[in-house]
Structure 1
């Protein structure tokens, strides 16, 4: 059995014609792939943002209920670990720079081999003390000096990190053609910001029209109304994102062409998805993380090519999440699914369009809201005013930008807190969400919200607190989810549900 998992960071579902027929984004290769695959319409985020989502994928469990952004834990049972135990070869190729920074440890090492293509975002790659010569004089948002140094080393499109990632996957397939027992993870950082894209793609969407400064590739994670971004600049950054999606699609097409040229596509399980969406001015937001997980962030693309082309051109309406990828791949490879995996295999859907998956999806960012959907309603449960009690549980206390508990080492406890492992864990008081910067990290998520997706997909009419009887049903579903996914007991108190 062969499996290829393609992860494109920050790929919004509304740019793809299989989800949004009126999109103006040009993705001919993803469109063609969707036509010969099964498109999942009810795929939801789990743990957000980047590294929490990846731990969901590799462990089949939610990360966000227990800890923020962080490494693979020593007690984690991972997808590559299970496959390798059965003799499958596992390889990852990626330009996702967060694997090589604090809080990203241990993921790549789960694979037999890995490729990493340097330079994205703030990757400390090009080592020059002098300021780069390509710093713009005027700009919107942010400019990363390190990225400006890095980008000088890719004069051509094919030198850029995400194209190199896809090309390395093509080369790996060529080098290993004829083998039929492998798991290949192809993970492109694009279309994540910086929205760095050659001019030829920008010309497809209007070029620099309306931009009155030299540079705008990295939005500030703020409300648009709290920045100096003009409507014209907002339209420009939306076009840059679209252009980068189109470039990423081109290189994805090369991967599919390589599989097909080597007669490896038809009988290979190929999955294409993302970790989260992104705001580009909608609801007055730019970026992610600090706001509610509205559909722009939480309702994700997921396209699956089943071996033999089963369900080609069809849509599946069952609820799915990233935690379902692990059991799906394991079943496809004939491996036993570990008992602690909370995801559900989707392989039965290849032969039975009515096969059940799950009746709800939990999702969230650690220490912020806990959210649940049954596919008809979405419910965002805000924490109590002081967001306490709240803890981070980890054997390896690293997170993004810092070591966990560095602000309160004298308050850290240690014990055996999870039923699934006897590994001792640190129990670290969480004063504010690790992913969020700023003085008021919960300002945007202080209100509990309930939305009817059938009548209000745009999530504009909050039904929470209006006497709608369905709110109690969603509260009960949320409580059930916390129990079934073994959330720390204090989560209920933090959410005002004790």
Structure 2
């Protein structure tokens, strides 16, 4: 078996033509859909970027126990299991610089080898002690510019001084390195190649030829990095921001097309599996919001694309699966491709059976640490928030106390205790760290970041845009009971139930129907 896994970041499902998107031509995603199974009800798990990747690698939800952080000593990462149990070689090609920050430094080392392409967003790549700040200030919109060092905005404008031609763009280099791997290894057996690019994550920077079809006539400074929060820009500014996102999606489609051409050229369809997905979506003004992390987890963020070509199931090419799936299914799927059993702690299911529509789960649980707990069942979504985000009792459970950019602060750790092992920690006791308002995660992607906090239920059949919350006690009670069951199966800590006023005992179903 040979596997190519393509992972984009912030790729909106509803922008792709196989899912009905019309604003951006995506002919290569159409080509892929003709060769693959297209999954219609595929959801995220833990969010945002690195929590999503921890789910993908370990096959279990992590957002109920901790926020953004490294893989833990007890985690089962599928590349390591492939190596240990079946001798399968794994190679990672990525420009996702979060892997090299404090909060992601244990991920890439799980692969047999890796290639890191520099330059995306705030990657601390190019060193300019005295940039031409005044020239750069004139080039970039004030909302995406600062002279303060060690900030993503300032590092990004420096990095972009060195990204001039199309070949310089990190995503282009990622796919080029992927082709290098295939040139050397495509005739070998038992390998997995992960080609992962940060695009179309913000800032929406693409070569000019991809922007031309979406030209808005904007004459202001570079505006391709939206704020995280409510829309307050003028209409023409919003259109420019969206147009730049469209341009990066078009570039991603082009790069995917180059990979499909490679599969065609060397007839890899007959013996190589291809999996294409993303970590989450991105709001472009829908629900009056930009981005993620600040709002309820609407479908635009939580429901994501997934395509799988399995050469062992050629009759499934061009079909669709309506099974309810999510990101935690990827790890057991990659293991299954090579005949390796999933680890006992994994909560996901192999997607190979669900390609034909087999139903393996009643609901998909997802969320941000410290925010709502959300559930989708294919018909409804239910989003349950704590009564008071600021006053909730919540702890992080970890043996790797780091945030994105730095270790946990001494203030956070001062009141830390030791928790008994969870069912998935292989006997290891964990630090139990109280969440405090001064935590670096609190106002970034934690409780203090959220601008919406009202529990709501949506019927996706009658209200696919999630515009009108539904008042239906019967459905809410049913979904609450299912949520409790899934949280218990995840061995969620007791306060995860208390903060949402949920029963933790076996009486959950009785309690919500009385």
Structure-to-structure mapping, 1:70-85, within 5 angstroms: 70-85=69-84
Structure number with the higher helix fraction is: 2
Distance 1:415 1:438, change over 3 A: closer
Partner residue of 1:419? Answer: 423
* Structure 1 pair 253–47 and aligned structure 2 pair: CA distance change class (3 A): same
Choose the corresponding residue for 1:156, options 160, 165, 187.
Answer: 165
String of CA shifts for 1:131-160, please: whole Å, max 9, x gaps: 246514251531322112112222211111
Alignment-derived partner of residue 47 in structure 2: 48
Which stretches of structure 1, 4 residues or more, deviate above 6 A after TM superposition?
A: none
CA gap 1:182/1:435 in 2 versus in 1, 3 angstroms: farther
Aligned to 2:104: 104
Give the number of aligned pairs: 488
How many angstroms apart in 2 are the aligned matches of 1:49 and 1:119? 20
How far did 1:306 drift?
1.4
Distance 2:445 2:78 in 1: 36
Whether the 8 Å contact between 2:35 and 2:318 is mirrored in structure 1 is yes
Which residue of 194, 201, 206 corresponds with 1:192?
201
Q: TM-score, normalised by structure 2?
A: 0.91
The residue that corresponds to 1:27 in the other structure is 26
1-structure distance, mates of 2:360, 2:452: 29
Q: Which residue is equivalent to 2:473?
A: 468
The alignment's C-alpha RMSD in Å is 1.8
Residue of structure 2 in register with 1:60 after alignment: 59
Whole-angstrom distance in 1 between the partners of 2:285 and 2:495: 35
Q: TM-score, normalised by structure 1?
A: 0.94
Once the two structures are superposed, the pairs formed by residues 190-339 of structure 1 within 5 Å of their partners are 190-205=199-214, 207-209=215-217, 211-225=218-232, 229-308=233-312, 309-339=314-344
Q: Residue 481 of structure 1 corresponds to which residue in structure 2?
A: 486
Structure 2 counterpart SS, 1:233: helix
Note closer, same or farther for the CA distance 1:152–1:310 as it changes in structure 2 (3 Å cut): farther
Q: What's the secondary structure of 2:241's corresponding residue?
A: helix
Deviation, structure 1 residue 405: 4.8
Q: Is the aligned partner of 1:17 residue 2:17? A: yes
For the residues of structure 2 that align with 1:456 and 1:423, how far apart are their CA atoms?
A: 45
User: CA offsets, 1:71-130, max 9 Å, x none?
Assistant: 011111110011111111000000001001110111100000000000111111111111
SS in 1 for 2:19: coil
Residue in structure 2 matching 1:396, options 383, 394, 400: 400
Compute the displacement of 1:415 (Å).
Answer: 3.4
* Aligned residue in 1 for 2:444: 437
Mapped to 1, the partners of 2:187 and 2:308 lie a distance apart of 22
The answer to whether the Cα contact below 8 Å between 1:167 and 1:255 also exists between their aligned partners in 2 is no
User: 1:150 aligns to what SS in structure 2?
Assistant: helix
Matches of residues 115-126 of structure 1 in structure 2 within 5 Å? 115-126=115-126
Gaps of 5+ in 1: none
> What residue is the counterpart of 2:136 in the other structure?
135
Extract unaligned runs of 5+ from structure 2: 146-152, 504-514
Superposed CA offset, 1:163-191 (max 9, x none)? 10011001110111211210111101000
User: Structure 1 residues 384 and 212 mapped into 2: Cα distance closer, same or farther (>3 Å)?
Assistant: same
Secondary structure class of the residue paired with 1:483: helix
